[in-house]
Amino acid sequence: MSLQQRFETYYNEYQDMVRSLCLGYSKGDQDLTNDLVQETFIKIWGALPKFEERSSAKTWIYRICVNTCLLHIRKSKNKKTEALETNHSAIADEPTRDSSYNELYQAIGQLKELDRIIIMLVLDDLPYPEIAEITGITEGNLRVKISRAKQKLNKLLSNHGR
């Protein structure tokens, strides 16, 4: 299989997964989501010749996506961009989503960066060992982070409903 065929296969198979992760990271901002998805796949294309398939393609692609999102967070903090913190209205512009789905993404957007990514991976039903590998933290630490993030989400969602 040629490099281009492998890339097209990965793109077709994993674009929804990457989009979902980026959407959660971007707090529902469609433009930022599109930029992050594109940037992720550009990085995948660039790294594909070196991919030795020691891990699954899914894990490898998740890792690239997570790193792309985390790098964007660092760059945004350095630029002191406030648009990301105030632009929650983009979620409501998506007509196919119901209001509880929108509320969930808004709540996820209020989590710390790594917690945001971890919760998106949990929502994608990835097994904990795979999430630990992708995020580079121990499985024990991961379980603690997931528990705390769920508590925070429950609090945010229950406060939002009042």
End-to-end CA distance of the chain: 55
Mean pLDDT score, 4-16: 94
pLDDT tens-digit map of 43-82: 999 999 999 888 789 889 988 998 898 888 777 765 544 4
Number of domains, the chain: 1
pLDDT greater than 60 at residue 86: no
- Range(s) of the domain holding residue 148: 3-160
Mean pLDDT score, 78-102: 48
The CATH number assigned to the domain holding 38 equals 1.20.140.160
The reported pLDDT for the residue numbered 39 is 95
Other residues' Cβ atoms within 10 Å of the Cβ of residue 85 = 11
